[in-house]
Amino acid sequence: MKIDLEDVIDQVLIDEESLNKRIKQLAGQINEYYLDKNELVLVGILKGSIMFMAELAKNIKLDCTLEFMDVSSYENGTQSSGNVKIIKDLDTDITGKEVLLVEDIIDTGRTLDALKDSLIKRGANSVKIITLLDKPERREIEIKPDWSGFKIPNEFVVGYGLDYMQMYRNLPFIGVLKREVYE
């Protein structure tokens, strides 16, 4: 079934060109920061980070490995429950490695706070956070990303990996979902 964007998207918040340009800038910062560090492991948080991580990884000019974790803290699709559940864990040992958590969006901060603690306890040399989108108005836990693509207002956004009920991830931009779609 074809998506009629006018029926679901209130506005385009960040267009595809702006996303690609900013991700290249972030990759440049990552390249510089990790140049003389230990082995770098990018850990994408599924499923939302997949498009961001793919584009970021294409622009990282360092030896690195890609890993994924699937975690959930959303029980009803729009509100975090605060309980983080690991659905898919890492496949490799991260002891002594530099870990870069790659996230699509930070809102409450609960998920990333729990993941960062877990990865530090597993022996990672360092755990840094990069997020495509930062929604500081929604923060419940004091956590700041080390790198952030865009600060956004407290709107329900989809596209470029972000979803509503597993839909709209494939949109090449970040759009604000119309309230009538999710309320």
102-144 pLDDT per residue, tens: 999 998 888 899 899 999 999 999 999 999 999 999 899 989 9
Q: What secondary structure letter does DSSP report for 138?
A: G
Does the pLDDT value for residue 79 go beyond 60? no
Per-residue pLDDT of 138-169, as tens digits, reads: 899 989 999 999 999 999 999 999 999 999 99
3-state SS assignment for residue 34: coil
* Position 84 confidence tier, pLDDT thresholds 50, 70, 90: confident
- 20, 63, 92, 132, 162 from 174: Cα distances, Å: 12, 30, 32, 10, 8
Helix orientation angle between 50-58 and 16-33, rounded to the nearest 10 degrees? 60
63 among known catalytic residues: no
Can you name the CATH fold of 16-152? Rossmann fold (3.40.50)
Identified catalytic residue from 7, 36, 89, 107: 107
Cα 144 to Cα 170: distance, rounded to the nearest angstrom: 27
Q: What secondary structure letter does DSSP report for 119?
A: H
Domains of the chain, by residue range, sit at: 16-152
Residues 6+ apart with CB under 8 A from 20: 55
* Position 3 confidence tier, pLDDT thresholds 50, 70, 90: low
Q: Is 122 buried (19+), middle (13-18) or exposed (0-12) by CB count in 10 A?
A: middle
* Position 78 confidence tier, pLDDT thresholds 50, 70, 90: low
Mean pLDDT of 58-86: 79
What pLDDT, on a 0 to 100 scale, did the predictor assign at position 176? 97
User: What share of the chain in percent tops pLDDT 70?
Assistant: 93
Q: Using an 8 Å Cβ cutoff, are 99 and 43 in contact?
A: yes
What pLDDT, on a 0 to 100 scale, did the predictor assign at position 86? 87
**In Å, how far from its chain's centre is CA 131?**
5
Does the pLDDT value for residue 4 go beyond 90? no
What pLDDT, on a 0 to 100 scale, did the predictor assign at position 5? 77
What pLDDT, on a 0 to 100 scale, did the predictor assign at position 1? 63
> For 9-148, where are the alpha helices, taking DSSP H only?
16-33, 50-58, 110-121
Does the pLDDT value for residue 55 go beyond 90? yes
